[in-house]
Chains A and B, each alone.
Chain A
């Protein structure tokens, strides 16, 4: 918290938004807020009106009924507000509800409101809760801001300082601390935090975290056992079902994956992403009826949600194509492209069009589009671009575009030779093409090339030939333009060259672009953040 602003001052200075569909309740609650110390209270009667107000003004406190009649519910409104940046890290979001149900609390920790307040709400209780929440939120705002900027190390430092200072938000801080260790790839420390928490009591998120640690270590069986235990002990903790379903999928246990997702969906039928996951799993197992049911439910749920959900469109389109209705499939894909304009949406839309064209017998059209799609997919730089590329390749295999699929898989393998999980994924796809052997060779060659370039570069630097050193690393960069390690190796050596042999605007731009691409591939990568900071310092010094 800044200076000695008291929580009372924070309440007085905050803009409040009250979202409540029932008029009488709205005026009563507004009166309560004013008597609690709020000075400025705006009101909205439904999700649509609230969205407009949130977009126009930054509120310090949002008090929102979960049930808002037809249209968006409170949770969907909250997710949209976070997604679109309408609320800042210090904004308190208080959800009001008549009773606590699993449907409501099924949101992942990142999506959850700051607190739930059960009706009836008395003024004194509301005031106590508000004072506590604004104070707590203000104290966590620094961490939230650092996390938003993906500055994991700064966030972790702040987190640990607050834990040491005996903060009131200990549970939340420990959860964030473990999460940040994971982001920084320090899994042993994350494990230590989870184990410490579990010694004090049976906390569901710590069990899930521990399973994620095992999963990262490639120990699927232990992860699975831990998750099964979590689901048994905390049957309402739906994130554990999602993670368990993922493990079962990786282990090739499609039937069990469907079972677990069906259980989760029965507990909380209104989560679009989970209905989608069930649809995808059912489709994979050839259970078309179940898939269609889950996808249509997901499509319905997504109508009021700002969160992008492509799976039900793609899945439903595929079902149509396979049932001999490629025209219907095209229509759905067109709707998806209209609603979402992300790169992912464009890529998946194209992939499904390839499938539909092939099904319609337009082989030339399908081949042309597939070629186009491979180029576009290989050029992507998001943190999930490689996974998306494997997925596109799988669709291309199904649409009988084996050559294009192989090209894309080669690109993924070369650029991700150092990522075991991705290599395994693309190796499975290679297998489907009957090219199982080529995966291992590609990995070995890429690893050799990257290592040699770095070694060669360092030797040339030592020989006092900086230009030759850069050329070696640039060669690797051209061959693996989407590998963060290669890009950063180039940037690091180039910066040494810049330091020793004087500035060059062209080289600085090249370095900056390399770092930017590496950061797009691995958001918050500590080494990239360091290099960028150093470069910024130089630029500032002129």
Chain B
């Protein structure tokens, strides 16, 4: 067995444990429900969302492994965008509320459905939302629009934006990940890989990072053909 097989097996095992921890935490939170939330409930909520971040990382790690081994069950299918967005908001909203942020969604009217792998793209966007929630000042916005046969999904915030080295490096290849910085680049690498699996005719999915825009902070943009 090579090392990556060990890593994948360990990631699988860790993910099972994380699922159980998350279930317990959520159960505990439900039992502590009160208005206003107690300090214990707030800490539990914080623990729950950190757990989900770990879960998200493990999901991405395992998916990368499977994609590279040709074992990922890639399933592009028609996705109802309103439902897709609803689920993302449901998952990100509690964390945003905990940090006192406004989470908004801005979808181009008339945009009904698009073809992509729901789980794969869902985990790209949710990690990006979690990330934005972490760095935002007051607002995080998810927007969807289509033009020239491409669907654009953008996660923007009003935080300090992505550091210069990340913008320069862009969506680094795995070899380029700088382990000295706190960012492993896992999320960005995964995003690029996931986007790249989506093809239609000659067109391919892509990702890009930027700063500024209407909210003035970081912008993560995923484009799907």
Contact = CB atoms under 8 A, between A and B. Distances in A.
B90 A128 contact: yes
Nearest to A35: B30
A121 B23 contact: yes
Given A125-B87, A202-B199, A203-B76, A102 B71 contact: yes
Interface string A7-23: 00000000000000010
Nearest to A118: B119
Contact of B74 (A119, A170, A234): A234
Interface string B17-41: 0111011101100100000000000
Contacts of A148: none
B109 interface: no
A58 B16 CA distance: 31
Given A24-B20, A120-B23, A201 B15 contact: no
A11 to B, nearest CB: 16
B26 A170 contact: no
Interface stretch (B77-85, B162-170, B186-194): B77-85
A171 interface: yes
Contacts of B71: 101-102, 236, 267
A169 to B, nearest CB: 9
A335 interface: no
Contacts of B119: 100, 116, 118
Contacts of A200: 78, 115
B73 A105 contact: yes
A327 interface: no
Contacts of A254: none
B12 interface: yes
Contacts, number: 101
A31 B31 CA distance: 10
B2 interface: no
Interface residues of B, number: 39
A29 B23 CA distance: 8
Interface string B55-88: 1000100100010001111111110100100110
Given A29-B23, A100-B119, A201 B76 contact: yes
Interface string A109-142: 0000000101111111100110010000000000
A462 interface: no
A276 to B, nearest CB: 22
A98 B76 contact: no
Given A28-B26, A99-B62, A128-B86, A120 B76 contact: no
B76 A170 contact: no
Contact of B26 (A102, A116, A123, A235): A123
A31 B27 contact: yes
A32 B27 CA distance: 8
A91 B78 CA distance: 22
A124 B83 contact: no
A84 interface: no
Which of B19, B51, B59, B72 has the most CB atoms of chain A within a 10 A radius of its CB? Answer: B19
A168 B74 CA distance: 22
A364 interface: no
B113 to A, nearest CB: 7
A98 B16 contact: yes
Contact of A203 (B12, B80, B115): B115
Interface string A182-209: 0000000000000000001111100000
A120 B73 contact: no
A318 B23 CA distance: 51
Contacts of B55: 120
Interface in A199-255: 200-204, 234-236
B46 interface: no
B193 to A, nearest CB: 15
Nearest to B123: A118
Contacts of A31: 27, 30
Contacts of A132: 83
B76 A236 contact: no
B150 interface: no
Contacts of B16: 98, 119
A170 B75 contact: no
Nearest to B23: A28
Given A105-B75, A120-B23, A267-B71, A98 B12 contact: yes
Contacts of B138: none
Contact of B91 (A100, A119, A122, A168): A122
A56 interface: no
Given A100-B73, A124-B94, A128-B90, 9 more contacts: A28-B23, A28-B24, A120-B19, A124-B90, A171-B78, A201-B76, A202-B115, A204-B75, A234-B74
Closest A-B pairs by Cβ, 10 of them: A120-B22, A201-B115, A171-B78, A119-B19, A120-B19, A28-B23, A236-B73, A102-B73, A105-B73, A124-B90
11 contacts: A99-B62, A100-B119, A102-B72, A119-B19, A124-B94, A125-B91, A128-B90, A170-B113, A171-B78, A202-B115, A202-B200
Interface of A: 22, 24-25, 28-29, 31-32, 35, 98-102, 104-105, 116, 118-125, 128-129, 132, 168, 170-171, 200-204, 234-236, 267
